[in-house]
Amino acid sequence: MIHIDGYSLEDILPHRGAMSLIDDVIIVEENYAVTEAIVSKSYPMADSRGVSPLILVELAAQTAGVCNGLSKLKTEGKDSSRKGWLVGVKRAQFFVDDSIAIGSRLVIRSENRHEFDMLREVFCVVHLGEVLLGEITLQLIQA
């Protein structure tokens, strides 16, 4: 089980079971997080060839959730995580045409670029080794 500053990943993110895609949290700072995910056949949209690049959007959102969820827990306490975040995709660009292979080790970095009250704009990149697979810009608002 992953623990960050005394909180479990389940304290920070609402995702459970097959929708919990983050395998490790590498670093969490005030405005950014870096996570790792190993593509699994249990992923949504997975088939015998791998998983659709659309999964990068969910990986970006969960990584953004690690940073922003942990910050909220630290400032407002454990009950604050029950409100969750609404996430919109402002822009997504994928640099992979086909499936991402099962077993691929992805590194996801999210960074809060703009914050205003309960709104955040988050820029995310997803890499497979040195290869950039996608850039995603998300808009988060506290529910």
Assign residue 17 the CATH number of its domain: 3.10.129.10
Domain count, the chain: 1
Low-confidence ranges of the chain (pLDDT < 50): none
Q: Which helix (H) or strand (E) holds 46?
A: strand 46-47
Q: What is the pLDDT of residue 88?
A: 94
Query: What is the full DSSP assignment across 86-124?
Result: EEEEEEEEE---SPBPTT-EEEEEEEEEEEETTEEEEEE
Structural domain boundaries, residue 33: 3-142
Residue whose C-alpha is closest to residue 89's, from 61, 109, 117 = 61
- Count of CA atoms in the C-beta half-sphere (13 A) of 112: 22
